[in-house]
A = this chain, B = another copy of it.
């Protein structure tokens, strides 16, 4: 899994994300202070999305949308502190989940 955080994303970056999320996107991207990006294998990303969804102050989107590949990317939108804390949560809980 790989992680990146973009603070104060530019309008062009939001455009690229919008085009790749298609019409399923339920988040108002313009109000997001920060974007957390998490990329990994599909099975991991569904678990990561669930962990982030249960964190406070963030919304989660599946970036690929209509053309699923094995390796996918999720974006986590919110204020910087919430995005950082959601990503921290993912790192901890996914590590625990490996013992399954």
Taking Cβ atoms with an 8 Å cutoff, the residues of A that contact B are: 2-6, 9-13, 15-17, 19-20, 24, 37-39, 41-44, 46-47, 49-50, 53-54, 59-60, 62-65, 67-71, 73, 97, 100
**In the complex, what residue of chain B is closest to A37 when comparing beta carbons?**
B43
A59 CA / B16 CA spacing, docked (Å):
13
Please give 8 more A-B residue pairs, beta carbons under 8 A apart, in addition to A4-B44, A12-B59, A64-B68: A3-B100, A4-B97, A10-B50, A11-B53, A13-B50, A37-B46, A38-B43, A39-B43
A63 surroundings in chain B (CB, below 8 A): 42
A-side interface mostly: mixed
Most B Cβ at <10 Å: residue of A37, A43, A64: A43
Q: Which residues of the other chain, B, contact A42 by a CB distance below 8 angstroms?
A: 39, 63, 73
> Considering the complex of A and B, which 10 residue pairs feature the smallest CB-CB distances, nearest first?
A10-B53, A12-B53, A39-B43, A13-B50, A70-B71, A37-B43, A16-B62, A6-B50, A4-B47, A2-B43
